[in-house]
């Protein structure tokens, strides 16, 4: 994603809102004080209104019952959910799902679990699944932190994708960034030894934070010397192309959980 879609003349798609937009919403967020929550939560998103298109709604009605897994604080039998046992990749914050659908279509032997809070995004991914006849994706519309805590078994994931997470530009909002030590520790606990985590961002300051946080997690090892080359499986999105033309560098980071960790 680029930081200001308007600057690039793009329509303001809610899933592509800049984190300054999100910051404005966060500044007026009057949610419960963190101490009141049973765990100190990373509130990495604000709930945004967004119109679900007719096509997205139809996809939700027709395909939702088959491919959307309702959030519940318990672990489903994932083999039964997918109807097979295959390498399982979690994607956090898939936005409108274009990257998810493209990767899943090129990796039919892998199963993907997309977690996203934004309803139009869920509709958009289901629509793409219908158009491309994809059956190796399941979707949970819920906060990924709670999904990881409650629905994903320890040492069960083969990979994790986090592409262009909200960068939360302002320093006072950095605590809302997903990639921070506590969250990474939770993620690693759900990854199999040898599993990979792949993050990408176009925000330099966040890329540096990712390097620092992932690098400090002893159970992880960097697959590259610093930033990684973009692997072929991650397509360049149209927003990324525009961002690249505007001079935003995109960084990929790929770490593995040490096999003996």
Ligand X SMILES: C[S@@+](CC[C@H](N)C(=O)[O-])C[C@H]1O[C@@H](n2cnc3c(N)ncnc32)[C@H](O)[C@@H]1O
Select from 5, 23, 26, 45 the one that contacts ligand X (CB under 6 A): 45
Q: Examine residue 44 and tell whether it contacts ligand X (CB under 6 A).
A: yes
Please, which of residues 203-242 interact with ligand X by CB under 6 A? 237
Which of 21, 166, 202, 252 is the catalytic position?
Answer: 166
Q: Find the distance separating the first CA and the last CA of the chain, reported in whole Å.
A: 34
Please say whether the beta carbons of 199 and 256 come within 8 A: no
As a whole number of angstroms, the distance between CA 187 and CA 179 comes to 10
The contacts of residue 85 (CB under 8 Å, 6+ apart) are 79
Q: Examine residue 166 and tell whether it contacts ligand X (CB under 6 A).
A: yes
166 included as an active-site residue:
yes
Region of 200 (left: φ > 0; alpha: ψ -120 to 50; beta: rest) is beta
Select from 2, 15, 56, 217 the one that contacts ligand X (CB under 6 A): 15
Structure token pair of residue 231: 């692997």
Select from 134, 148, 152, 163 the one that contacts ligand X (CB under 6 A): 163
Q: Examine residue 165 and tell whether it contacts ligand X (CB under 6 A).
A: yes
Q: Examine residue 128 and tell whether it contacts ligand X (CB under 6 A).
A: no
- Side by side, the strands of the sheet bearing 137-140 are 137-140, 111-115, 88-92, 157-163, 191-201, 251-257, 220-222
Please, which of residues 61-100 interact with ligand X by CB under 6 A? 92-95, 99
Q: Examine residue 121 and tell whether it contacts ligand X (CB under 6 A).
A: yes
Q: Residue 165 CB, nearest distance to ligand X (Å)?
A: 6
Question: Active-site residues: which are they?
Answer: 166
Residues that bind ligand X (CB under 6 A): 1, 15, 44-45, 92-95, 99, 115-118, 121, 143-145, 163-166, 237
């Amino acid at each position: 994603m680029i930081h200001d879609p308007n600057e690039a003349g793009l329509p303001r798609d809610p899933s592509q809102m800049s984190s300054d937009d999100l910051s404005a919403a966060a500044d007026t967020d009057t949610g419960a004080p963190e101490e009141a929550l049973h765990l100190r939560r990373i509130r990495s998103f604000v709930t945004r209104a967004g119109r679900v298109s007719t096509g997205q709604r139809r996809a939700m009605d027709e395909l939702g019952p088959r491919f959307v897994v309702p959030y519940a604080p318990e672990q489903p039998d994932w083999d039964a959910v997918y109807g097979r046992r295959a390498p399982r990749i979690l994607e956090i914050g898939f936005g409108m799902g274009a990257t998810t659908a493209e990767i899943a279509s090129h990796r039919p032997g892998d199963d993907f679990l997309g977690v996203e809070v934004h309803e139009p995004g869920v509709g958009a991914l289901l629509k793409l699944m219908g158009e491309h006849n994809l059956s190796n994706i399941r979707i949970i519309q819920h906060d990924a932190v709670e999904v990881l805590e409650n629905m994903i078994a320890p040492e069960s994931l083969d990979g994790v994708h986090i592409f262009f997470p909200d960068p939360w530009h302002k320093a006072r909002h950095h605590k809302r960034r997903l990639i921070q030590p506590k969250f990474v520790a939770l993620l690693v606990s759900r990854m199999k030894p040898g599993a990979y985590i792949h993050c990408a961002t176009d925000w330099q300051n966040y890329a540096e934070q990712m390097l620092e946080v992932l690098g400090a997690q002893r159970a992880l090892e960097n697959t590259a010397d610093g930033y990684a080359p973009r692997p072929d499986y991650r397509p360049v999105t149209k927003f990324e192309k525009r961002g690249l033309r505007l001079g935003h560098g995109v960084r990929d980071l790929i770490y593995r959980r040490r096999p003996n960790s």
